[in-house]
Amino acid sequence: MKRLLTFIIAAIIFFPCGAQSWEEIKSSRQYIYGEGWGSSDAEADKNALADLISKISVQVQSSFTLTEDELSHNGQVDGETYARSKVQTYSQATLTNTEKIVIEYEPDAHVGRYILKSEISRIFEARRRRIDEMLGLAETAEKNAKIDDALRYYYWAYAMLKTLQHPNEVRDSNNHLLSTWIPAQMNDIFDGIKVRPMRKTSDNVLEVAVTYKDKPVASYDYTYFDGQNWSNIYSAKDGRGVIELNPGAITDNLRLKSEYEYRGEAHIDSEIDAVMSTVRGQAFRKSYINVSGDTPSVAATREAEAAIETAPVTNAIEYLSNDTEYRKTIGKVLAAITAKDYAAAEKYFTPQGAEMFRSLINYGRARVLDTSGLTFYQNGDRVVCRNAKMSFSFRNGLRKSFVEDVVFTFDSKKRIDYIAFGLGEKAEHDILNNDEWNEATRKALMNFLENYKTAFALKRIDYLRNVFDDNAVIISGCVITPGGNRFADSNSHYAQNQYVRYTREGKNEYIARMARSFASKEFINIRFSDNSVKKLGKGMESYAIQIKQDYYSSNYGDTGYLFLYVDINDPENPIIKVRTWQPKPDPKFKLIDAGYF
C-alpha cells in the first residue's frame, strides 16, 4: 500500500519548466509555443493549449496524408483545416510532453504552453502505441468469442490510425498494412457471425441463437430495423439474444446490424471520444444480417438450439442426483414470471429472497428464455440452481436489452434465499475448473463474484455496505501514469508533466456515492471476463482477483480492470479489503495487483 501511495503522490506533482523566461522561450527556435488569457488559470491554460495545437497543426500539416475513403469524402478540405482537425484530437490528456508557464495570475491570468520541436514526433508515437494496444485487445477478444469487444477495439484502432501522419504506410510487427488489414479482420468477423431464429414468445419477442464460426458467441451487440427505425443496442450472451417485434410488423426478413462503432461509449476515454468525433465513419456492408422473423418451424428451432448447445461448464463439481423438488419450485417461479403473477412466486422465497425477487422483476421487463439447461448442486447446506436464461429490457439508455443467466440459491429449508446474475460460461469455467483450490473454495469465489456484480444490478446498497471492510482501501478511476519514480523513463519528457486522476475514498464515502449513483440510473449491468485469481499466503482463504469489467447503465458506461483483495475465511460473509479500478493497463506498470499492497 505504501508503494502505491508513493507513486500516486509522486505522479501528481507538477514539474515546472525551469529557469527560462517566457521571452526566452518565445525567441528560441527550439520551441513551438501558444499563449492564452482568461479570468482563471484553467481558462487561460485551455486557451494556451488551443493556440499551441493550432501552431503544431501548421507545423505538421504538410506531413499528413489522407486515407482513400477520406479522399473521396473530404476532397475539398484544405490541408491546414484537415491537419488541425486531426491534431486537435491530441487533447490535453495526450499532449503530455508539453510544458506550462504561468505568466500572470488570476484574475487576469496569462499562461504559456510550449513544446520542443524535436518532441512533436512523440505525440504520434504515443497514439501509435495506443493503436497497437487496441489491436492486441481485439485479437484476444476474438479468440474468446467476445465479438462486441473485438469489433469495438478493431474499429476504434482503425479510427485512431487515420489520425496518424501517414496512415497508409503504418504496419504492425507482422508487416500487416493496417489501413487494409484492420478492415479485413472486421469483415472476417462479420463473415463468421450467424443469427438463427429460435422461437417466438407469446408477447411477440423473437429469441435468436448467435454463433461465431459455428460456436456460441460469448458476447455480441446488435441493432435491428423494427419497420420504422433502428433499435437501440441489444446484447446477446453465451449465444442467446432477443428481438422485440412491433405488433403488425412485417417480419419475414428482419435486418440486423452488428454494432462496431460504439460512438455512444466513446466518451469513456477522452482520446477516443475526440477521434470518433473527428474522423469520418466507415461503413461495413458485411455488418448487416438478414433474419427471418416468422415463427420458426420445430426443425429450425432444434437446429438453432443445437448450434448454441454447450457442454457442461465443469465436471469438477458434483450435481444433485435428485433435484426433482428444487426443479419443481424453480419451474413455478419462472412460470409466475412469464404470467406476470409475481405475488404467486413470493411464497417460495425467504424474506430476503423475496426482496431480491422484487428487485429482479423491477430491474427491467423480465422474460424467461430457455430453462432446459438448469443444473443443481450442493453448496454447504444450500442448493444452487444455475442456467435459468432470462432477458431484461429497458425504456432508456443506449442499450435496451441484456440476456442473463439467473442463479437461485436455496436455504436449508428449500426456500430461495439469494438471486444472482451468473458470471458467464468462460468465467465460470475458469473458476470451477481450477484444480489449485478445493471445491468449497471454487464455489465460494464464484458466489462472491456473482453476488458482487448483482449488487450493482439490483442496487443492493446493503450488500455493499456489509461486504466492504470498515478500513477498506477503495480507489476509483485510477488513471495512473507515474512520473518521477522508478516506473518512469528518466530520458523521456513524458515523465515530466503527468499526473494521476483518482479518487481514494473511505468506505462510508464510497457507499454514499454508490447510493447516489443507483438513484440516478434506470438500470446497471456489469459483465466480467478475463479473470485472474490468486491465493495470498498459506493457511488462510484470502484471494487477489483481477478481472476485466464492462459497466453499462442508462446514463453512463465504461470498460476497465477491477482488482479485489477479498477474505473468504467465512464463505457466508466475504470481506473486501482492497478495491481498485483502472480503465486500461498502464504502459509502465500494467495493472495494479496484489504486489502493491
46, burial (CB in 10 Å: exposed 0-12, middle 13-18, buried 19+)? middle
Specify the pLDDT at position 171. Answer: 93
Cα–Cα distance, 165 to 71 (Å, whole number): 14
- Choose between 24 and 431: higher pLDDT: 24
Cα–Cα distance, 91 to 348 (Å, whole number): 56
Locus of grid cell 423491477: 362
* pLDDT > 80? residue 570: yes
Strands 254-258 and 193-200: what pairing? unpaired
pLDDT digits (tens, 9 = 90+) for 209-224: 999 999 999 999 999 9
Contact 521, 554 (CB under 8 A): yes
Q: What is the CA radius of gyration of the chain?
A: 27
Grid cell, residue 70, equals 477520406
Grid cell, residue 212, equals 461465431
Buried b (16+ CB within 10 A) or exposed e, 337-373: beeeebeebbebbeeebbbbbeebeebbbbbbbbbee
Task: List, in order, residues 6 or more apart from 87 with CB less than 8 Å away.
Answer: 53, 56, 57, 60
Contact 195, 122 (CB under 8 A): no
Cα–Cα distance, 230 to 308 (Å, whole number): 26
Cα–Cα distance, 573 to 564 (Å, whole number): 15
Pick from 2, 20, 18, 21: nearest CA to 10: 2
- Based on DSSP, count helices (H) and strands (E) in the chain, helices before strands: 17, 22
Specify the pLDDT at position 73. Answer: 55
Specify the pLDDT at position 577. Answer: 94
pLDDT digits (tens, 9 = 90+) for 19-58: 478 999 999 889 999 999 999 988 999 899 889 888 887 7
Instruction: Give the least confident one: 95-109, 172-186, 509-523, 529-543.
Output: 529-543
Locus of grid cell 508533466: 497
Provide the residue type at 201 as one letter: T
Work out the average pLDDT over 545-571: 83
- Residues belonging to the chain: 597
Grid cell, residue 572, equals 457466508
Instruction: Give the least confident one: 190-194, 219-223, 291-295, 543-547.
Output: 291-295
Specify the pLDDT at position 321. Answer: 86
Specify the pLDDT at position 498. Answer: 35
State the sign of the Cα–Cα–Cα–Cα dihedral 429, 434, 440, 441: negative
* pLDDT > 70? residue 254: yes
Specify the pLDDT at position 170. Answer: 92
Quick one: pLDDT band at residue 15, thresholds 50, 70, 90? very low
Quick one: pLDDT band at residue 370, thresholds 50, 70, 90? confident
Instruction: Give the least confident one: 78-82, 250-254, 405-409.
Output: 78-82
Locus of grid cell 438471486: 419
Specify the pLDDT at position 268. Answer: 67
pLDDT digits (tens, 9 = 90+) for 436-487: 788 888 888 989 999 999 999 889 999 999 999 999 999 875 333 333 332 3
* pLDDT > 80? residue 2: no
Provide the residue type at 100 as one letter: K
Cα–Cα distance, 576 to 237 (Å, whole number): 28
Provide the residue type at 358 as one letter: R
Specify the pLDDT at position 265. Answer: 78
Cα–Cα distance, 512 to 503 (Å, whole number): 14
CA distances from 351 to 327, 328, 467 (A): 21, 20, 20
pLDDT digits (tens, 9 = 90+) for 61-80: 666 766 666 655 555 555 55
CA distances from 493 to 96, 165, 389, 585 (A): 8, 21, 53, 20
* pLDDT > 60? residue 595: yes
Cα–Cα distance, 46 to 42 (Å, whole number): 6
Pick from 591, 557, 593: nearest CA to 479: 591
pLDDT digits (tens, 9 = 90+) for 112-125: 999 888 888 777 88
Provide the residue type at 205 as one letter: V
Specify the pLDDT at position 529. Answer: 72
Contact 89, 274 (CB under 8 A): yes
Grid cell, residue 174, equals 507482422
Cα–Cα distance, 237 to 146 (Å, whole number): 9
- Choose between 564 and 555: higher pLDDT: 564
Strands 109-116 and 31-38: what pairing? antiparallel
Locus of grid cell 451487440: 221
What is residue 594's DSSP assignment? Answer: G
Contact 210, 194 (CB under 8 A): yes
- Choose between 272 and 37: higher pLDDT: 37
Domains recognised in the chain with CATH numbers: 21-121 (3.10.28.20), 311-421 (3.10.450.50), 440-597 (3.10.450.50)
Cα–Cα distance, 559 to 547 (Å, whole number): 11
Taking the CB of residue 516, how many other CB atoms lie within 10 A of it? 8
Task: List, in order, residues 6 or more apart from 70 with CB less than 8 Å away.
Answer: 162, 279, 280
Dihedral of the CA atoms 464, 467, 469, 474 (nearest 10)?
-50
* pLDDT > 50? residue 499: no
Instruction: Give the least confident one: 95-104, 382-391, 496-505, 527-536.
Output: 496-505
pLDDT digits (tens, 9 = 90+) for 407-428: 999 999 999 999 999 987 777 8
Grid cell, residue 536, equals 495470498
Strands, sheet with 468-479, edge to edge from the N-terminal-most edge strand: 501-505, 468-479, 575-582, 557-567, 542-553, 524-535
Please, how many CA atoms are within 13 Å of residue 19, restricted to the half-sphere of its CB? 0
Grid cell, residue 270, equals 477522452
Locus of grid cell 460469448: 218
Cα–Cα distance, 379 to 233 (Å, whole number): 37
pTM value is: 0.74
> What stretches of 107-181 adopt beta strand conformation (E)?
109-116
Contact 402, 391 (CB under 8 A): yes
> Residue 505: enclosing H or E segment and its boundaries?
strand 501-505
